[in-house]
C-alpha cells in the first residue's frame, strides 16, 4: 500500500513539473528540442521574455474582442510549456497532430498557441537592433578579416525555401525558381564578420533576382560610405553600392585564361571568409519546420516564422570556423 502511495506521489510530482523540463534535461536535449545551445542560454532567453509573455492573450480571443480589454486567459499548460510547444513545431518540425497527443490538448489549441507565439515573438525579436554599428563590427572583427578585407560591414547571400505549387499559373511563374527547379520563397540574409546575423529581408517569390532582392530589401539604406559588402560573383550590385558610397567585395573576375598568383590567393581567402554566411544560413534551415514544403496555408505567417528562426539562430553561439572566428 505504501509503495502505491509513493508511486502516486511521484506521478503527481511529474505532473507538476513543466513538460519542457521532462523532455529537456541535458544541454543536448535543449539543443535538439529548442535549438538553443544550452539550458543556461535557454533560461536567459526565457527570463527576458517571460514578463511580457505572461500578458499574452490567444490570437483567436484577440480577434473576437478586438479593442475590448480582455482578461488574461486560463492556460491548460504553464506558459513555458506553450513556448516549448512553439519550439517543438519550429525546431523539431513536429506536426500539430503529433503535438496534440504529446501535450494532451486538441489540435485547434495547438494551432492557436503557435499562431499566438509566432505573432508575439516576431514583435519582440523584430524590435531588437540587429544591425551592428561600424564600431561594433570593428571591435568584433576576426583577425582574418582585418588582414584581407578590414572594410567589410556585412556578408550577404540569398537562400530559398521550397513551397507548395500554387494552382494559379501566374503565381506559379512568380514563385518558380530556375535554380531550385521548384516553386520557392527567397530571402536575403546578411551577417557581420563575427558571424552574427545582422540583416534579414522579408521573403519574396522565388523568381526574383539577387540584384532585385538587394534593391528591395532596404539593405542599401543601412550602408554608409566606406562600407564593404562581401558577396559571391552572382551579386552584380557594384553600381547600386557605389551610389551609397559602399564597395562590393567579390572574388576577382578572370581577365585572362588564368588568374594571377595574387588574384588566386585573394579568391581563396575571400571564399574561405564568405563561407561564414553559408554556415549561418544552414543554421537557420536546421530549424526543421523548413524540412518540408511550406504549405500555401502558411503564407500569412511564413515571413514571421522565417525572421524568428533567423534571429533565434544567433543564440546558438559562435559559428566556430577554425582560424576565422
What pLDDT score does 13 carry? 43
CATH 3.30.420 location in the chain: 134-316
Choice among 14-23, 102-111, 201-210, 278-287 with the minimum mean pLDDT: 14-23
Answer whether residue 324 shows pLDDT above 50.
Answer: no
**Per-residue pLDDT at 136 exceeds 60:** yes
Find the range with the poorest average confidence among 103-107, 145-149, 198-202.
145-149
Three-state secondary structure call for residue 152: strand
Residue with the larger pLDDT of the pair 15 and 101? 101
Count other C-beta atoms under 10 Å from residue 173's C-beta: 12
Burial category of 14 from C-beta neighbours within 10 Å (exposed 0-12, middle 13-18, buried 19 and up): exposed
Mean of per-residue pLDDT scores for the chain: 87
How do residues 231-275 score in pLDDT, each as one tens digit? 988 888 999 999 999 999 987 655 555 656 666 666 777 778 888
Q: How far is CA 178 from the centre of its chain?
A: 24
pLDDT-derived band at 12, boundaries 50, 70, 90? very low
Which one is predicted more confidently, 70 or 271? 271
Average pLDDT value for residue range 81-103 = 96
Each residue of 274-289: b (16+ CB within 10 Å) or e?
Answer: bebbbebbebbeebeb
Backbone phi, then psi, for 115, in 5-degree steps?
Answer: -60, -40
Does 134-316 carry CATH code 1.20.950?
no
Please report the pLDDT score of residue 147 as a whole number. Answer: 85
Axis crossing angle, helix 39-53 with helix 79-91, rounded to the nearest 10: 120
Query: In 3D, which of 231, 211, 225 has the Cα closest to residue 278?
Result: 231
Q: Cβ(259)–Cβ(183) under 8 Å?
A: no
Rounded Cα–Cα distance for residues 128 and 182 (Å)? 33
How would DSSP label each residue in 77-95? S-HHHHHHHHHHHHHS---
pLDDT value at residue 261? 66
Report, as an integer, the average pLDDT of 184-195: 96
C-alpha cell recorded at residue 87? 519550439
Amino acid at each position: 500500500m505504501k509503495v502505491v502511495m509513493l508511486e502516486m506521489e511521484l506521478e503527481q510530482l511529474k505532473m507538476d513539473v513543466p513538460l519542457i523540463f521532462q523532455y529537456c534535461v541535458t544541454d543536448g536535449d535543449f539543443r535538439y528540442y529548442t535549438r538553443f545551445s544550452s539550458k543556461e542560454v535557454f533560461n536567459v532567453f526565457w527570463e527576458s521574455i517571460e514578463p511580457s509573455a505572461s500578458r499574452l492573450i490567444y490570437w483567436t480571443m484577440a480577434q473576437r474582442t478586438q479593442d475590448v480589454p480582455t482578461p488574461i486567459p486560463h492556460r491548460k499548460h504553464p506558459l513555458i510549456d506553450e513556448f516549448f510547444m512553439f519550439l517543438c513545431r519550429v525546431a523539431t518540425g513536429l506536426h500539430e497532430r503529433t503535438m496534440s497527443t504529446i501535450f494532451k490538448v486538441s489540435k485547434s489549441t495547438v494551432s492557436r498557441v503557435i499562431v499566438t507565439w509566432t505573432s508575439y515573438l516576431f514583435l519582440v525579436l523584430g524590435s531588437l537592433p540587429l544591425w551592428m554599428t561600424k564600431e561594433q563590427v570593428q571591435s568584433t572583427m576576426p583577425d582574418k578579416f582585418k588582414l584581407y578585407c578590414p572594410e567589410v560591414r556585412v556578408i550577404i547571400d540569398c537562400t530559398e525555401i521550397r513551397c507548395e505549387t500554387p494552382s494559379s499559373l501566374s503565381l506559379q511563374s512568380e514563385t518558380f525558381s530556375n535554380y531550385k527547379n521548384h516553386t520557392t520563397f527567397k530571402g536575403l540574409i546578411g551577417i557581420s564578420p563575427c558571424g552574427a546575423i545582422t540583416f534579414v529581408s522579408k521573403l519574396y517569390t522565388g523568381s526574383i533576382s539577387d540584384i532585385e532582392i538587394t534593391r528591395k530589401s532596404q539593405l542599401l539604406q543601412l550602408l554608409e560610405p566606406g562600407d564593404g559588402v562581401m558577396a559571391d560573383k552572382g551579386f552584380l550590385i557594384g553600381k547600386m553600392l557605389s551610389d551609397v558610397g559602399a564597395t562590393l567585395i567579390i572574388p576577382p573576375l578572370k581577365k585572362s585564361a588564368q588568374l594571377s598568383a595574387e588574384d588566386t590567393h585573394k579568391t581563396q581567402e575571400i571564399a574561405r571568409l564568405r563561407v561564414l554566411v553559408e554556415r549561418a544560413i544552414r543554421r537557420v534551415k536546421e530549424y526543421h519546420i523548413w524540412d518540408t514544403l511550406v504549405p500555401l496555408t502558411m503564407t500569412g505567417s511564413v515571413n514571421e516564422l522565417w525572421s524568428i528562426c533567423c534571429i533565434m539562430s544567433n543564440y546558438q553561439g559562435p559559428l566556430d570556423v577554425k582560424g576565422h572566428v
